[in-house]
Structure 1
C-alpha cells in the first residue's frame, strides 16, 4: 500500500538501531514510540512530531495555508474554503457563492478535499453540474472542500525542508506517450510500463479519461499526457534537481512559505503557472513512500536528518548539521 509508511518505518527502525534508541511499534506501524532513556517521542503516520500543533493544522488546511501565505506576501495558488452542510447545520451548501466561481474562472476550477493528500478526490470542473457533483462527493465523507482556479501548470517542484534547509528537491514529470498513428492512447500507455504495473495503470487511466479518448488512435509524433496531476502516486516521475537557478528559486520560495507558516519539517510544492512560481500547498506529514521507489537512500537520509533534529544526536564522530543529501 502506497499510503502505509513502510519505508518511513524501515528508516526509523534503522535509525533507532544505530542510535541505540528504543522503538515500540504499534497500530501496524502507524504509531511509533521512541525513547532513549531521557525522553520519549511519538511518531504518528507521516507526522514525525517536529512541528507545532498550530503549524501542523495550518499546513493540513489548504485554504488556511493559501490565506496565510497571501497575507505574508508569498505567491500562492488561492484556495477558497467551503464547509459541508453537516458542519454548518444548514440544509444545503452555499451553491450560489460556489457557482459564482465558475463565472469568475471560465477556464475551470479544481475541487479538492480541504485536508486531502496525494491528489485523491481532486477533480477538474468546468460546468456548474460538474462542480456540484464534485462537491457533493467530497461532502459525503468530508467536512470541507477547497476550490482553486484551474491553472495551466508548466512545471511542479517539491522541496522537502528541515529548519529552513532543503533536504531533497525534485521535479515531478508527468507521464507522456508519443503517437505512432497505429495505436490507441490505452495501448501506447500499456506499452510504456512493465506487465506487473499494467493493472494499476489501467485503473488510473479510467479515472483520467473516458472510453472514447482511451481508444482513439494518436497521430504520428503527437504527444499526450497520461495524467493532468503531478502526483507520483498518479504516475509522475521524480527528477532530482542539482544546484542551479531552478533549484535555488524553488528552494527560496519554499523557505519563505515554511517561515510564514512557522513550520520546521515539511514538503512544499511549488508550481510554475501564469508566468510565475507560486506555492501550491504545504504538507506537514512528509510522505516519501513513492519517492522511495526511485531513491530509497534519500528517503532514509532525510528521515535520519529529521530524527537527529528531534533527538539532538549525530552519527559517531560527526559534529556537522543534518547530513547532506546527494543529488
Structure 2
C-alpha cells in the first residue's frame, strides 16, 4: 500500500532525529530517499530501511521463501513457504511442473493454503484458498503484478506478535488483535460488522467482508455473547489493532524467538512476526524495512523510539 509522504512517520522520525543532532538532512524522491550528512560522513536511508542491514540480509528478509529456508537450516521453528516463479523468471529454474506442485500442496493441506507475493508487506495480494479454482485465480492475480509468489499451509493462528529489534534489543513488542464483534442474539453478523466500522469506511468495508466471510454467514444472527472474528489475517492494515505486550512469559518467549530469527538471517534492524499455532511459537515473517504507520496512529512515541534507536547505531 503506497503511503503519501505527509503520512509516513519514517520520514518525520528521521528528519526530527537529524535536526535535533545537527545532522544535515535532505528528503528526496518523494520521501523514499533521505540523505543525511554529519561532517565528512554521508549516510542514506531508503524506503523504510535506515541502512543498518547488509544487502544480503535485507534481500533474504524481504524474500519469504528464502527466509523460511534460512530459518529451517538454522533450526528456528517457522511457517514453511514454497517459492514459485512467474513466467518471466521460469527460465531460471530447473524445477518443472509448478502447477502440479501447487496442486499437490493443496491436496496435502485440507485446511487450505495461503498464497502471497514472495516479496511485499502490509498483506497486499494475500489469499487463502481451499479449492483448485480459487488457487488458480489467486496465482493468476499475483503473477500478473509480481514476478514470483510463495505458498504456505494455512494454519489457525492463536496469537500473532510483532517484535521490532535493534541489535537484539526489543524496542517494540505488540500483539495484533483482529477485528471482532460480540453477538446480541438480535442482529445479523453483517449489521454488527458494519456498525463496528467507521461511517466513512462502510462502503469500502462491505466488499472486504463479503470476500472474508461469505454472504450466508453474514446474513445469520449471531447468538448473544458469541465472539466472531471479522478477518482471518492479523495485518494492521487489514483492521487488526496493536496491543502492547506486558512483561511476562509470552513476551519473553516471542523476544527469544525473534532474536534467534534475526541472528540466523543477520538482521540488525527489523520487525519479526511470531505466531502461536497448536500452542507453539513459530516465525511467520521477517521484515528488513520497518514500517510503523499503523502502529504510530495509537503509539507514535514507540515508532519514534524505534527509529531513534536504529539511527543511534548508525551514527554511533
TM-score range (shorter-chain normalised) is over 0.9
**Counterparts of 1:117-196 in structure 2 under 5 Å?**
117-196=121-200
Displacement of 1:78: 0.4
* Mapped pair 1:232 → 2:236: yes
Q: Could you report, residue by residue, the CA deviation over 1:87-138 in whole angstroms, capped at 9, with x for unpaired residues?
A: 1149x96211110001111111111111021111111111111111111111
Give, in whole Å, the separation in 2 of the partners of 1:279 and 1:229: 15
Structure 2 counterpart of 1:16: 18
Distance 1:131 1:18 in 2: 51
- Could you list the runs of 5+ residues in structure 1 that have no partner in the other structure? 313-327
Structure-2 residue corresponding to 1:320: none
Secondary structure, in 3 states, of the residue corresponding to 2:89?
helix
The separation in 2 between residues aligned to 1:132 and 1:190, in whole angstroms, is 31
Superposition RMSD on alpha carbons, in Å? 1.7
- Superposition deviation, residue 180 in structure 1: 1.6
In structure 1, the residue matched to 2:3 is 3
**What TM-score comes out, normalization by structure 2 length?**
0.94
Deviation at 1:184, TM superposition (A): 2.1
1:77 lines up with 2:42 in the alignment? no
TM-score by length of 1: 0.91
Distance of 1:281 and 1:54 partners within structure 2: 16
Structure 2 residue aligned with 1:323: none
Cα offset for 1:214? Answer: 2.9
How many residues align structurally?
311
Tell me the CA shift for residue 200 of structure 1. Answer: 4.9
Deviation at 1:287, TM superposition (A): 0.6
**1:292 match:** 296
- Work out whether residues 51 and 264 of structure 1, in 8 Å CA contact, stay in contact via their aligned partners in 2: yes
1:58 aligned to which of 40, 57, 60: 60
1:85 and 1:2, CA in 2 relative to 1: closer, same or farther beyond 3 A? Answer: closer
Structure 2 match to 1:27: 29
Any stretches of 5+ residues in structure 2 without a counterpart? Answer: none
Question: Aligned match of 1:308 in 290, 308, 312?
Answer: 312
Q: Does 1:40 align with 2:25?
A: no
Q: SS state of the match for residue 55, structure 1? A: helix
CA distance in 1, matches of 2:198, 2:130: 35
